[in-house]
Amino acid sequence: MNYRSTRDTSLSLTAAETIARGLSREGGLFVPESVPQIDANFLTQLSAMNYAERSAAVMKLYLSDFTADELLEYTKAAYANFSTESAAPLHRLDEKTSFMELWHGPTCAFKDIALQILPYLLTASLRKTNESKKVCILVATSGDTGKAALEGFRDVEDTAILVFYPRDGVSDVQKLQMQSQQGNNVSVCGVEGNFDDAQTGVKQIFSDPVFASELAARGWFLSSANSINWGRLLPQIVYYISAYCDLLNEGKIHNGEEISFCVPTGNFGDILAGFYAKQMGLPVKRLICASNSNDVLTEFFHTGTYNRNRPFFTTVSPSMDILISSNLERLLFEVSGKDAGYITSLMTALKNDGCYSVTPEVKEKLDKLFRAGCCDENNTKAQIGSVWADHQYLMDTHTAVAHNVLEQYRREEVSQEQVVVVSTASPFKFCGAVLEGLSHPGTGDGLSEIAELEALTGVSAPAPLAALRNAKVRFSESVEKEQMETVVSDFLR
Ligand SMILES: *Cc1c(COP(=O)(O)O)cnc(C)c1O
């Protein structure tokens, strides 16, 4: 199984080369040359397995240059760090609705599912491609990715990781999670400015050839851990298939029956993994794309026009505050008949005009599978309150957006299928907004709000967040954007 780029289909790379390289040189994203197929038999077999075994079996279909034993070793190690038996357990809300809780890993957000295993896949890929330099992972984060990447790569041999976060743009809990990071190969640094400043700074460092050769001379190269890397997307395909197996085991569906997923979406990585699961043959009726007030994707699925020329809102679901959803490029490639020229023209229009429209044929294909909706801040909080009142189930802000959009979907069309709402973070990561949703505004201090939310609901905070009470700050530095390259250089000295 080889991979090619969405903007240059003449390329053909092995899985190891694809993961080692991350992004294709001409700016395209890597996609599998063909999508492996699964059937009812495969689903029956998987249903008898635990999560690590399911993950190895599914990933093996895409990683033909890895052995089954290798993959099982990685998945077992990665998912042993989760507090639940399955890394993606279902919580049943009512007869037709479950939440798939993807946040029982070390940093309490769904990024752990991929970032706990990416270090294994990446270091193995570097070995398989005979790379002799060590890799430094450089991350600009709006909160969840940075911490998950730090936990994934801490003390991994021949790697280092450096995370930049906007000094005033992450929650108290998120900041302390990063500043107190343990490990001997890690560093964390604040940037004066917002997420875009941090992101732009990191992109400039990546595209500086002089700096790259200076680092190469010292035995280092830079790589990224965000969801443009296939190695981060692939582990996410697994939980869609795993959820189906769990519903089979619960006796809620028969093998072959279609189900739907509702996904809180930002960069379009999570829901794209669901699309690949459907392409593999998983019986999926709809993928429902849920957005917050940054509703660029809702408009796109409704009209066929993607337009980033709009106000940017900072919301209580910050991991979905995004105007350019990078992974949409992979979806458009797949539904346009793998037309790299067409994708290049759309992405050029996006870069130059901030806007593009897809052809009626592409729009029609999207309409068959996708639905989309959005939910503003007040409705997000109200959703947290009503689900707590009706079911005593506590949701975070991102999950609440998705659940609200699911209710809209069920009002708009007749649908009897089982729906799985993808739950992406622990409510204790966003205590302030969750407390407001429960009509008990907190003190405004992130750490004491964890205790307030516990006291109010009787629900315990996940251990890694509760432990922040005693966390010691190791990294308190912050710099101007212009100094970021110096920070990297000093770190790798
Ligand atoms: C990253 C993130 C999302 C969005 O996922 P994408 O793959 O970027 O669409 C949603 N919720 C939470 C909590 C996240 O951390």
User: Three-state SS for 357?
Assistant: strand
Q: Can you give the pTM of this predicted structure?
A: 0.95
The first and second tokens of residue 17, run together, are 């080369």
- Distant-in-sequence, close-in-space partners of 214: CB < 8 Å, separation ≥ 6: 489
Q: How far is the CA of 41 from the centre of ligand 1 (A)?
A: 32
Question: b/e string for 245-268 if b means 16 or more Cβ within 10 A?
Answer: bbbbeeebbeeeeebbbbbbbbbb
- Atom of ligand 1 minimally distant from the CA of 103: 13
**pLDDT tier at 22 (50, 70, 90 boundaries)?**
confident
Q: Return the pLDDT at 23.
A: 81
- With the most atoms of ligand 1 within 8 angstroms of its CB, the residue from 171, 236, 330, 398 to mutate is 398
Q: What is the DSSP string of 330-342?
A: HHHHHHTTS-HHH
- Atom of ligand 1 minimally distant from the CA of 236: 7
Whether the per-residue pLDDT at 173 is higher than 90: the answer is no
Q: Return the pLDDT at 27.
A: 82
Angle at the Cα of 275 from the Cα atoms of 286 and 262, rounded to 5 degrees: 45
How does pLDDT run across 125-156, given as a tens digit for each residue?
999 999 999 999 999 887 789 999 999 999 99
CA dist 359 to 176, 330, 345, Å?
Answer: 46, 16, 12
User: Three-state SS for 87?
Assistant: coil
Strands of the sheet with 478-479, listed across from one edge: 220-223, 134-140, 159-166, 186-191, 478-479
The catalytic residue positions are 111
How does pLDDT run across 430-488, given as a tens digit for each residue?
999 999 999 999 888 888 999 999 999 999 999 999 999 899 999 999 999 999 999 99
**pLDDT tier at 61 (50, 70, 90 boundaries)?**
very high
**Percent of all residues in the chain with a pLDDT value above 90, rounded to a whole number:** 85
The closest of 150, 393, 405 to 265, measured between CA atoms, is: 405
How does pLDDT run across 84-108, given as a tens digit for each residue?
999 999 999 999 999 999 999 999 9
**Percent of all residues in the chain with a pLDDT value above 70, rounded to a whole number:** 100
- Distant-in-sequence, close-in-space partners of 244: CB < 8 Å, separation ≥ 6: 43, 253, 259, 282, 283
Q: How far is the CA of 424 from the centre of ligand 1 (A)?
A: 7
Nearest CA owner, ligand 1 atom 11: 424
Nearest CA owner, ligand 1 atom 14: 319
Q: How far is the CA of 326 from the centre of ligand 1 (A)?
A: 12
Whether the per-residue pLDDT at 196 is higher than 80: the answer is no
Nearest CA owner, ligand 1 atom 2: 319
| Contact by Cβ (8 Å): 13, 4 | yes
Nearest CA owner, ligand 1 atom 1: 319
Residues with CB under 6 A from ligand 1: 109-111, 144, 227, 264-270, 319-320, 398, 424-425
Nearest CA owner, ligand 1 atom 8: 267
- With the most atoms of ligand 1 within 8 angstroms of its CB, the residue from 230, 292, 320 to mutate is 320
Which residue has 């991929």 as its token pair? 114
- Atom of ligand 1 minimally distant from the CA of 269: 7
The first and second tokens of residue 332, run together, are 């458009």
How does pLDDT run across 393-438, given as a tens digit for each residue?
999 999 999 999 999 999 999 889 999 999 999 999 999 999 999 9
Q: How far is the CA of 297 from the centre of ligand 1 (A)?
A: 14
Q: Return the pLDDT at 326.
A: 87
Gap between the terminal Cα atoms of the chain: 39
Q: How far is the CA of 123 from the centre of ligand 1 (A)?
A: 25
Q: How far is the CA of 492 from the centre of ligand 1 (A)?
A: 30
Ranges of H-type helices in 116-255: 118-128, 144-153, 172-179, 195-206, 209-217, 230-250
The β-bridge partners of 259 are 284
Q: Please state which CATH class domain 72-109+231-432 belongs to.
A: alpha beta
- Atom of ligand 1 minimally distant from the CA of 265: 9
Q: How far is the CA of 209 from the centre of ligand 1 (A)?
A: 31
- Distant-in-sequence, close-in-space partners of 71: CB < 8 Å, separation ≥ 6: 55, 56, 59, 60, 63
For 351, counting Cβ atoms within 10 Å of its Cβ (0-12 exposed, 13-18 middle, 19+ buried), the class is: exposed
- With the most atoms of ligand 1 within 8 angstroms of its CB, the residue from 29, 103, 110 to mutate is 110
The first and second tokens of residue 422, run together, are 């993808």
Say how far apart CA 353 and CA 323 lie, in whole Å: 14
For 47, counting Cβ atoms within 10 Å of its Cβ (0-12 exposed, 13-18 middle, 19+ buried), the class is: middle
How does pLDDT run across 289-333, given as a tens digit for each residue?
999 999 999 999 999 999 999 998 989 998 898 888 889 999 999
| Contact by Cβ (8 Å): 132, 221 | no
Which residue has 């070793």 as its token pair? 73
- With the most atoms of ligand 1 within 8 angstroms of its CB, the residue from 115, 144, 316, 430 to mutate is 144
Q: How far is the CA of 265 from the centre of ligand 1 (A)?
A: 6
Q: Return the pLDDT at 179.
A: 96
Q: How far is the CA of 371 from the centre of ligand 1 (A)?
A: 18
**pLDDT tier at 194 (50, 70, 90 boundaries)?**
confident
